[in-house]
């Protein structure tokens, strides 16, 4: 027997027989009669599956909802990582440009410093050297 057939047989709804609800209510409240049971005892649970829906269908719906949610979360995480990688590349490009500009400014300052000298007696005053 295939696994799917075994699963289908195991999850097949069974008829509980006549007066099932009365027997359950009688066990819950041994002193109360089924006719006088409170409405809250007969209320349908919030997470109950609709009538006629098999357990296999309900399980399939729950699994597909879980899968869809997981796929959405994976997609969002992938988007977030891609955005972070783009920002990283932009920062690296900006640092390279800034580094190049600073190197050029440093080169110019070094060249300018080689052309000037301090005036004897006045260290705050600079004169350009004449070759």
pLDDT of res. 75: 96
Residue ranges of the chain with per-residue pLDDT less than 70: 1, 30-52, 117-131
pLDDT of res. 45: 59
Tell me the whole-structure pTM to 2 decimals.
Answer: 0.41
Residue pair 45/29 in contact (Cβ under 8 Å)? The answer is: no
Could you give the CA distance from residue 11 to residue 54 in angstroms, rounded to a whole number? 8
Cα–Cα distances (Å) from 102 to 87, 91, 115, in that order, read 22, 16, 20
pLDDT of res. 54: 80
pLDDT of res. 96: 94
Q: Please state whether 48 falls in left (phi above 0), alpha (psi between -120 and 50) or beta.
A: beta
Residue pair 126/119 in contact (Cβ under 8 Å)? The answer is: yes
Could you give the CA distance from residue 7 to residue 4 in angstroms, rounded to a whole number? 5
pLDDT of res. 90: 96
Bridge partners of 117, per DSSP, are: 127
pLDDT of res. 47: 61
């Amino acid at each position: 027997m295939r696994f799917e057939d075994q699963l289908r047989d195991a999850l097949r709804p069974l008829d509980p027989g006549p007066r099932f609800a009365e027997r359950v209510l009688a066990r819950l409240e041994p002193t109360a009669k089924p006719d006088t049971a409170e409405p809250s005892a007969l209320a349908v649970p919030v997470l109950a599956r609709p009538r006629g829906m098999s357990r296999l269908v309900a399980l399939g719906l729950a699994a597909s909802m879980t899968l869809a949610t997981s796929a959405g979360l994976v997609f969002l995480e992938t988007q977030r990582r891609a955005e972070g990688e783009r920002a990283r590349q932009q920062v690296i490009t900006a640092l390279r440009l800034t580094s190049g500009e600073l190197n050029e400014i440093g080169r110019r300052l070094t060249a300018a410093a080689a052309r000037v000298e301090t005036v004897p007696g006045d260290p705050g005053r600079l004169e350009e050297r004449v070759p």
